[in-house]
Chains A and B, each alone.
Chain A
């Protein structure tokens, strides 16, 4: 911890950053995001295996952008998000310094995004086993039971849009759900609209979702919404060999095609 704090202190001193986004301890054992604007606050900075939040989402926030030079303490999901977002040209207006702590508890300060890319490719995360187990289970059900499972899940959705808020890939200034001419998605928190909302969100994340699972983890009613995108990521890799958040350059899966893409359902 001391190592990390010293490193960040150094970055503050030599003027590389004037805002550090990291983690601090909180009421529960789950560390929470913290924002360090003064060197005197560095003491609260920690990094553990339980640091789950994908902090890259904050790089879209105007209040954060104002700081100009931003340091970000990234877990692997965050790094992946940073790679994907860079490939989508999202960081043209900020200067950022990326830090991570590796398995050996060494602090790494990346000098550019290429280094991040190399690190991500060397440490590319697998799908979580828990998610895969649940997906397998769902796929073993009959279609009617799957429909029942998901519609009951979505009936609990209250449309708080926390899934959208925590998603680093959901950076559109105006979301489809806010368009009302036409009203694509019903605004009331009722099942049909909820279902459409989650399908729409998954589709708009196709090939872009970096699989951090934040949407499912923070859902206040506990809907495993991330399963939709996990499944999609699996499919995209299987069908087209693409991985999101893997390379700085390259098209995303739905923005590109191969003339010999295979499918078995078009007559």
Chain B
């Protein structure tokens, strides 16, 4: 870990230098709809600085909505040719993601690379640098402190910036982070603590309390009531920084086309449906339970990480405003 400072005035210079270096820079941009999205930008003027959380996470940089697995062509003799060219995946910098999102990248990396490493994710991740910005503000949907994170944690980030008045506290965690630092703009840090500049995020529950009770939560009678409002859309899964389910679909003809990997959501009724018509998770209660149990129990068992990072997006985006922390509290009630 290396600690430095940069003046606020120099932030745009640093940012624009990143763009000039030929990297694709993805940063939060405020849209007319009032929502903030990650988008490829050309200059710091376009970047939104006043947002609590982006509407969607930045996972699409390393795990795009639609990823071309390969393209195929049928040759005249009936044989196929499969092509997969990833060489044009650009070096990308994600700027301004929140500490919860960057720690989500940690989970994604474990999930995709630990067992049966995923070629596509691997390449995209290698070419991605994360420059996070700590949260100075939080809202009622934020609950990172409940899942063991905080508004200033460095987990997952290559560089974490924390605004401290007219300067930024810069924590550089990785070699990749070091390599994008423009030394002229950064000076060694004066020993201030960043704590006072971080948002205060209310703790909704403590993982310690829940860890034990979640073991038996599968059988809780509360699931039905807790998921009554769920309408079975994919908004929560698609906005979630750690949801990784996908579908594989072919587009094109039998002569030529592409095989695509597209985001899918465990909330969809068709998600688990067998060809026979049998559906192991036949109702929305079971599907909602799968989603929550996966975040808080299964991923802990499989990877040792709670895969909910408390970003609160699913709460903000849900048409029925289902509240994940309320749900989890209620199903683990003694």
- What mask results when residues 95 to 116 of chain A are scored 1 for a CB within 8 Å of chain B, else 0? 0000000000000000000000
| C-alpha spacing A33/B225, complex, angstroms | 12
| C-alpha spacing A34/B56, complex, angstroms | 26
- What mask results when residues 308 to 324 of chain B are scored 1 for a CB within 8 Å of chain A, else 0? 00000001010111010
Q: Most B CB atoms within 10 A — which of A27, A159, A161, A188?
A: A188
Within 8 A of B (CB), among A14-62: 26-28, 30, 32-35, 37, 53, 57-58, 61-62
- What mask results when residues 218 to 253 of chain B are scored 1 for a CB within 8 Å of chain A, else 0? 000000110111011111011100000001010100
Given the contacts A30-B321, A161-B234, A166-B231, A188 and B224 also touching, CB distance less than 8 Å:
no
Given the contacts A35-B225, A189-B66, A190-B66, A222 and B34 also touching, CB distance less than 8 Å:
yes
Docked-complex contact A188 and B251, CB < 8 angstroms: yes
User: Count the A-B residue pairs with Cβ separation under 8 angstroms: how many?
Assistant: 105
Chain B: minimal CB distance from A75 (Å): 15
Chain B: minimal CB distance from A97 (Å): 18
Docked-complex contact B231 and A220, CB < 8 angstroms: no
Docked-complex contact B283 and A220, CB < 8 angstroms: no
Given the contacts A32-B321, A166-B233, A178-B270, A27 and B141 also touching, CB distance less than 8 Å:
yes
Within 8 Å of chain A (Cβ to Cβ): is B35?
yes
Q: Is the interface of A mostly helix, strand, loop or mixed?
A: loop
Docked-complex contact B140 and A28, CB < 8 angstroms: yes
| C-alpha spacing A189/B141, complex, angstroms | 27
* A-binding segment of B10-18, B145-153, B259-267: B259-267
Within 8 Å of chain B (Cβ to Cβ): is A158?
yes
Within 8 Å of chain B (Cβ to Cβ): is A164?
yes
Chain A: minimal CB distance from B202 (Å): 11
- What mask results when residues 183 to 221 of chain A are scored 1 for a CB within 8 Å of chain B, else 0? 000111110000000000000000000000010001011
| B323 contact set on A, CB distance < 8 A | 26-27
Docked-complex contact B315 and A27, CB < 8 angstroms: yes
Chain A: minimal CB distance from B172 (Å): 33
| B55 contact set on A, CB distance < 8 A | 220-222
| C-alpha spacing A220/B56, complex, angstroms | 9
Interface size class of B (residues with CB under 8 A): 35 or more
Within 8 Å of chain B (Cβ to Cβ): is A118?
no
Chain B: minimal CB distance from A137 (Å): 12
| A161 contact set on B, CB distance < 8 A | 233-234, 268
Within 8 Å of chain B (Cβ to Cβ): is A129?
no
Within 8 A of A (CB), among B255-281: 260, 262-263, 265, 268, 270
Residue ID in chain B nearest A187 by CB atoms: B249
Given the contacts A63-B228, A160-B234, A162-B235, A33 and B321 also touching, CB distance less than 8 Å:
yes
Interface size class of A (residues with CB under 8 A): 35 or more
Docked-complex contact A220 and B235, CB < 8 angstroms: yes
Docked-complex contact A26 and B251, CB < 8 angstroms: no
Residue ID in chain B nearest A21 by CB atoms: B228
Residue ID in chain B nearest A153 by CB atoms: B33
Given the contacts A63-B283, A188-B249, A220-B56, A160 and B238 also touching, CB distance less than 8 Å:
yes
Within 8 Å of chain A (Cβ to Cβ): is B192?
no
Within 8 Å of chain A (Cβ to Cβ): is B65?
yes
| C-alpha spacing A164/B265, complex, angstroms | 15
Chain B: minimal CB distance from A172 (Å): 12
| B65 contact set on A, CB distance < 8 A | 158, 188-189
| B260 contact set on A, CB distance < 8 A | 188
Docked-complex contact A64 and B228, CB < 8 angstroms: yes
| A34 contact set on B, CB distance < 8 A | 229
| B75 contact set on A, CB distance < 8 A | none
Residue ID in chain A nearest B250 by CB atoms: A183
| C-alpha spacing A162/B232, complex, angstroms | 8
| B31 contact set on A, CB distance < 8 A | 222
Residue ID in chain A nearest B32 by CB atoms: A222
| A165 contact set on B, CB distance < 8 A | 231-233, 319
Chain B: minimal CB distance from A218 (Å): 4
| A62 contact set on B, CB distance < 8 A | 283-284
| B66 contact set on A, CB distance < 8 A | 188-190
A residues near B, CB below 8 A?
A: 26-28, 30, 32-35, 37, 53, 57-58, 61-64, 156, 158-162, 164-166, 178, 186-190, 214, 218, 220-222
Listed A/B pairs (18) with beta-carbon separation below 8 Å: A26-B321, A28-B321, A30-B321, A32-B320, A32-B321, A33-B320, A35-B225, A61-B284, A62-B284, A158-B234, A160-B238, A162-B231, A164-B233, A165-B233, A187-B249, A188-B262, A221-B56, A222-B35
The 10 closest A-B pairs by CB, nearest first: A222-B33, A165-B233, A32-B321, A162-B233, A165-B231, A27-B140, A160-B234, A218-B319, A35-B228, A188-B262
Known pairs A33-B321, A35-B229. 16 more at Cβ < 8 A?
A: A33-B229, A35-B225, A53-B320, A62-B284, A63-B227, A63-B285, A165-B233, A166-B233, A186-B249, A188-B249, A220-B56, A220-B238, A220-B239, A221-B35, A222-B31, A222-B55
